[in-house]
Amino acid sequence: VFWMQTWLYLAVTGVSFLIVAAFTRILTSDSKSLFMFDAVGLTLFVITGIEKTLAEGYPMWVAMIMGMITGSFGGILRDVLINEEPLFFRKDIYATACLAGGGVYWIFAEAGSPIWVQEALCVITILVLRWGALRYGWHLPEMKEGSVKELRKRRQN
């Protein structure tokens, strides 16, 4: 596991935590700044997950999934530590934005684009989807509890 091979990843995480802890009031008083930091952090973790996975020789579809897991888990951990329901578990577009960004990365990698183009377009895709989710209320369809029970009944008949 790449983050266990050097102390730098843990150090960056620790410094980031200290900064957030020191400026909690400022960050939580303005949801736009919190959203901005979250979205930028999400994109950086997605790209790190993708590139580390590819560097280990895994195929791009595995890298996309690892990018999604790496990006999403950071947000889950952050929300758990501040005692909030993680965005990942809401109908908000979060993990889907990670997968879409990874898909754009893959498309442009296959087209032979320079790495900076792949990264930039991945970042833009994730930021646009996260911004759209916040600004326009974009979300995934929500399956109601009654819908699940109804689906099970139909399968039994």
The residue among 107 and 9 whose pLDDT is bigger is 107
pLDDT at position 54 is 95
| Tokens found for residue 78 | 């952050």
pLDDT at position 39 is 86
pLDDT band at 18 (very low <50, low <70, confident <90, very high): confident
Instruction: State mean pLDDT over 10-17.
Output: 80
The Cα 36–Cα 71 span in angstroms is: 15
Predicted TM-score (pTM) of this structure: 0.74
Q: What is the pLDDT of residues 115-147, one digit of tens each?
A: 999 999 999 999 999 999 888 888 877 766 666
The domain limits of the chain are: 2-156
Distance of CA 85 to the CA centre of its chain: 15
The residue among 115 and 154 whose pLDDT is bigger is 115
Q: What is the pLDDT of residues 70-129, one digit of tens each?
A: 888 877 877 777 777 776 676 678 889 999 999 999 999 999 999 999 999 999 999 999
